[in-house]
Amino acid sequence: MGQALGPRVDAITDDLIRVTEQMIPLNDIAADLAEMRAASIAENIAAVQYVLANNIDPATISPPAGAAAYAQRLARRGVPLTILLRAYGLGQYRILDAAIGLILAVPGPDQPARIAELLKFAGTYLDRLNSSMGRIYEEERDRWVSSRQAARQQWIARLLDSDDVDVAATEEVLGYRLDQRHHAAEVWSTVTGADAVRALEQARQLLSAAMRTDGNELVAASGDRAMCIWFAASQPCAVSDLTAQLEAAGLPVHVALGRACDGLSGFRRSARSAARAKALAVSAGETAPAVVAYHAIAPFALLSDDPDELADLVHRVLGPLAGEGAKVELLRNTLDVFLAEGASFSRTARVLGVHRNTVQYRIQQVTGRYGIAVDTDTFELRFALGICRWYRHILTRTI
């Protein structure tokens, strides 16, 4: 069969190039790939003829070099793999049509067996070729995407750390304008692997909708399961709404929102404030809310990182109430809400979802058992309570 196909290879090749151009127009790939596509088709048809002529096992063949290079170029251009595999299916049909025509042109009792053998060969050959080309395409796409991401990371790092920035070039590479208001967010997942990738992408989409940016954001990976996102948003999203949406979606992620700031300097300030908010949320551990906004916790995010000073203040103001354990944590939380609600037992009860008498009992324990006064200047007291919430390691530090 391979020998019989030999004289028809050029005609089949020309016909397949013409049909492929009609079915898969050049504007679906790129005009400058026309020569590579034609060369790939010619190499593949010649390879099929050679394998048939020499009775080579189709399960052992490898794609021709030109075909592999064409697949890699398509991957770098972002052309879908389906276009490439569609072309191979079309090529198989054309070759089978020609080969079966040759078999039918020579009558004989072995025609059905020869056609069945040809179909078996074609199925094995195409499966092997599609598998190989798919792997070549995906490997090149992954390598290309990784290299582009690495380059983007370098441009973003230069934006954050260097004063020598070519703004116009940076905007062109990143596809993101710097002369606008930026709202940065740190997003990190509590799971790993593919689950983290999916959760982060869902969170990005949710944030994009909440910020009303229509996908106009800049994303930079900040670890295996974390990323920083800059949104071109004039108004920050509501923390309560975002929290509710994350919980409704069941996403295993935390979000730290930075300040909304303008221009290149604002790009940096927003990122720094989001990073501080994230560090504070991580410090708080499991008690941290799903969404933390920098503007709500700025005094604590800006605290000195001297743990001895923080521990000294907390123990001086709260005494034994700064200890570990569920009971003292419950009393601290009740006291914090009580002070925030203007020392109102009824409002505190509504916020905590408990009876008014329960609030009275807990406050009596705070004042009686722990000797903490709640009817004087409460700034230092609330400050100490905030440190306990956000810097949990202070609770285990001895002075």
| The amino acid at 68 | A
Q: Which residue spans within the chain are E strands per DSSP?
A: 181-189, 217-223, 226-231, 253-262, 291-293
Q: Is residue 165 part of a domain?
A: no
Are 365 and 331 within 8 A, CB to CB?
yes
Q: Is residue 122 part of a domain?
A: yes
Domain end, chosen from 301, 320, 344, is at 301
Q: Are residues 324 and 392 in the same domain?
A: yes
Q: What pLDDT shows up at residue 25?
A: 62
Which residue from 197, 252, 248 is spatially nearest to 227, judged by alpha carbons?
Answer: 197
Q: Are residues 17 and 91 in the same domain?
A: yes
Q: Tokens at residue 241, please? A: 């709404």
Q: What pLDDT shows up at residue 48?
A: 81
Burial class (CB in 10 A: 0-12, 13-18, 19+), 132: middle
Q: What pLDDT shows up at residue 304?
A: 56
Q: Are residues 284 and 370 in the same domain?
A: no
Q: Is residue 284 part of a domain?
A: yes
Which residue from 74, 9, 5 is spatially nearest to 43, judged by alpha carbons?
Answer: 9
Domain end, chosen from 267, 301, 335, is at 301
Q: Is residue 158 part of a domain?
A: no
pLDDT in single tens digits along all 399 residues of the chain: 556 666 767 787 887 788 777 766 655 556 567 778 888 888 888 888 788 788 888 888 888 888 888 888 888 777 788 888 888 888 887 778 777 887 787 788 888 888 888 888 888 888 888 888 889 988 888 888 777 777 788 888 888 888 888 888 888 888 899 999 999 999 999 898 888 888 998 999 899 888 887 667 898 887 778 999 999 876 667 888 889 998 898 999 999 999 888 999 899 999 999 998 998 899 888 888 999 998 888 878 777 566 777 787 888 888 889 888 889 999 999 999 999 898 999 999 999 999 999 999 999 999 999 889 887 767 888 888 888 888 877 777 655
Q: Which residue spans within 133-225 are E strands per DSSP?
A: 181-189, 217-223
Q: Looking at the 3D structure of the chain, how many domains does it have? A: 3
**Angstrom distance (rounded) from CA 346 to CA 359:** 8
Phi, psi values for residue 25, rounded to 5°: -55, 155
Q: Are residues 330 and 276 in the same domain?
A: no
Q: Are residues 330 and 269 in the same domain?
A: no
Which residue from 124, 134, 232, 222 is spatially nearest to 174, judged by alpha carbons?
Answer: 232
Other beta carbons within 10 angstroms of residue 391's beta carbon come to 20
Are 276 and 267 within 8 A, CB to CB?
no
Task: Give the structural domain span for 311.
Answer: 307-396
Q: What pLDDT shows up at residue 324?
A: 85
Give the DSSP letter of residue 214. T
Give me the helices (H) in the chain, please.
Answer: 2-5, 9-23, 34-53, 65-77, 81-104, 111-161, 167-174, 193-211, 239-249, 263-284, 294-301, 307-318, 326-340, 345-352, 356-368, 379-390
Q: What pLDDT shows up at residue 355?
A: 94
**Angstrom distance (rounded) from CA 143 to CA 75:** 10
Are 96 and 119 within 8 A, CB to CB?
yes
Cα 342 from chain centre: 43
Q: Is residue 340 part of a domain?
A: yes
Are 107 and 33 within 8 A, CB to CB?
no
Q: What pLDDT shows up at residue 27?
A: 58
Are 206 and 247 within 8 A, CB to CB?
no
Between helix 294-301 and helix 263-284 the angle, nearest 10°, is 70
Q: Are residues 186 and 270 in the same domain?
A: yes
What b/e sequence results for 78-92 when a residue is b if at least 16 CB atoms lie within 10 Å of its CB, and e otherwise?
A: ebebeebbebbebbb
Q: Is residue 159 part of a domain?
A: no
**Angstrom distance (rounded) from CA 125 to CA 91:** 12
**Angstrom distance (rounded) from CA 292 to CA 256:** 5
